[in-house]
Structure 1
Amino acid sequence: MTRNVLLNNVEHKDLRVITKRGAAYGDDVMFAVTFPSEFRNVQAHYPIVFQKSHDGRGFQPVALLGLRAGQNLFLKGDRWDAPYVPLAIERQPFLIGFDRDELMVHIDLDSPRVSQTEGEPVFLPYGGTTEFLERASSMLLAIHEGLQSNTAFTQVLLQHELLEPFALDIERPDGSQHRFAGFYTIHEERLAKLGGPALESLHQAGHLFGIYMAIASLSRLRDLIQRAQALGE
């Protein structure tokens, strides 16, 4: 359950946010939504793949954190075992809301990260915003702008038929097989066959960089598999 409300320094003057990591705080997720302007940071640690939208008409890029539902292979107790945490994870429990078309910071009061006694203060004693909240606001703006860019990015991929389904057959330590499927990657052969005008168009629109970042990120699949095997999965 969620209880999203507009954040304000009167009703929420004593709120704190727990920044520790762990399944108890909702970090046990298989993937996190990402966007092209975040790809440079994400690709260094996580595979970037594409997931079909709920209506089946579009796609969204995601950073893979695990190989099955509810699995986050980067959780090590109460810490995150990578230098970079995807913004869609790090921004919790804050969300973007709208008030008369103006972007406003909301907070999920039912989040296990929200506390009155533990964690980072959201407001200063006399009502001003803390550096912690200012950073959260910047993250939310980056996410909002990034998610808006996803539509154009994935539409171009579909236009050039650059998405293809992929599957991995993973051998578990006990010798059994696990098939990982349901996601899409960039079709590298079709990309290589695109003509000059198409590539120039992708470059001018700023999409070519994101495409190559997504391709480069697939080298992180091996790390993901090794993390799973180390756990006996």
Structure 2
Amino acid sequence: MPNFQTLSSDLHSEIRVDESKLTATFAKFHLVNVEVKEAVQASCEYPLFFSKAANNQYWTVSALCGLALQENVFETQGAWLAHFTPLSLKTLPFTLSFENSTDQPDTLLDMDSPAVSQNTGETLFLSSKRPTAYLDNKKKLLSERVSAMQQTAALLNQVSEMELIQPVDLIIEYADNTQQRVGGLATVNEQRLHNLSSDEMALLHQKGLLNVLFNVLGSIFQVNRIIRLHNTKFPSRAVKNVKFETSKS
């Protein structure tokens, strides 16, 4: 579990962040949040699905990076095999808290991150207690991600209202002939998409969503890449196939 502390020049002046060790953090995410503005590029790397946020109040886009909890097949021996890294990973080991203010959120640092150190890596504060260029860049990424998350929530609310989100289960078939069902994911309701009126299609195009939806659909073929990477990383639990089944949930 993360151990977040509110970032302070008084408390964290000696703290460093070793970016080369962040991949060890990535390794624990089998689902990675992707914002709508990143979806087209991300679809070239990962299979993309819709999933509900932790509070179950709004839809997000998630990249499937592993077939089991806390398993990310794009991480291997400290190396990151993906060419595109979503904002949700780039901002680590930092996050924002809006608990005290919605206008000026607190920056939090995960003190238990493998990248946090007192010996190696990027310093966070100058002797004047002002943020370093490294920390300023991280804060810019955090701000960018907040704006992107708000945009994603609003746009996917539109997609949901148009009944374009279809829950789906993954049926994982292992080489030893056992199966595992994974729920909680959704994809584009392809039949509904093809039956949209010209006005509805124009609206999606205007909002930049039409291209995103087609790329989410096309990204399903990246599951084959997940299988290959999984079998290389976890040969004792080799997967021979992953099927998709429409869910009523």
CA–CA separation in structure 2 for the residues paired with 1:21 and 1:5: 18
Matches within 5 A, 1:126-205: 126-205=128-207
CA offset digits 1:36-60 (Å, max 9, x no partner): 0121332121111011345555322
Q: CA deviation at 1:7?
A: 2.4
- Do structure 1's residue 72 and structure 2's residue 55 form an aligned pair? no
Q: CA deviation at 1:193?
A: 1.1
Contact 1:21 1:75 in 2 (8 A): no
CA–CA separation in structure 2 for the residues paired with 1:40 and 1:26: 21
CA gap of 1:21–1:96, structure 2 versus 1, over 3 A, is: closer
Q: Secondary structure at the match of 1:102?
A: coil
Contact 2:22 2:115 in 1 (8 A): no
Q: CA deviation at 1:22?
A: 4.6
CA offset digits 1:67-92 (Å, max 9, x no partner): 11111111111121112222212211
Shifted more, 189-198 versus 122-131: the winner is 122-131
Q: CA deviation at 1:117?
A: 0.8
Contact 2:7 2:107 in 1 (8 A): yes
TM-score of the two chains, using structure 2 as the length reference: 0.82
- Do structure 1's residue 221 and structure 2's residue 223 form an aligned pair? yes
Structure 1 residue runs of 4+, over 6 Å off? none
Shifted more, 44-53 versus 1-10: the winner is 1-10
In structure 1, the partner of 2:108 is: 106
CA gap of 1:216–1:133, structure 2 versus 1, over 3 A, is: farther
Q: CA deviation at 1:157?
A: 1.7
Q: CA deviation at 1:189?
A: 1.8
Paired letter, 2:123: P
Q: Secondary structure at the match of 2:196?
A: coil
CA–CA separation in structure 1 for the residues paired with 2:137 and 2:59: 29
CA–CA separation in structure 1 for the residues paired with 2:190 and 2:55: 26
Contact 1:47 1:219 in 2 (8 A): yes
Q: Secondary structure at the match of 1:82?
A: coil
In structure 1, the partner of 2:14 is: 14
CA offset digits 1:176-222 (Å, max 9, x no partner): 33334331001112111101101111222232232223223222111
Q: Secondary structure at the match of 1:197?
A: helix
Q: CA deviation at 1:26?
A: 6.0
CA–CA separation in structure 1 for the residues paired with 2:204 and 2:194: 13
Contact 1:50 1:62 in 2 (8 A): yes
CA–CA separation in structure 1 for the residues paired with 2:129 and 2:40: 36
CA–CA separation in structure 2 for the residues paired with 1:21 and 1:108: 12
CA–CA separation in structure 2 for the residues paired with 1:159 and 1:46: 26
Paired letter, 1:117: N
CA–CA separation in structure 1 for the residues paired with 2:221 and 2:70: 22
Contact 2:6 2:106 in 1 (8 A): yes
Paired letter, 1:229: N
TM-score of the two chains, using structure 1 as the length reference: 0.87
Shifted more, 102-111 versus 196-205: the winner is 102-111
Contact 1:36 1:149 in 2 (8 A): yes
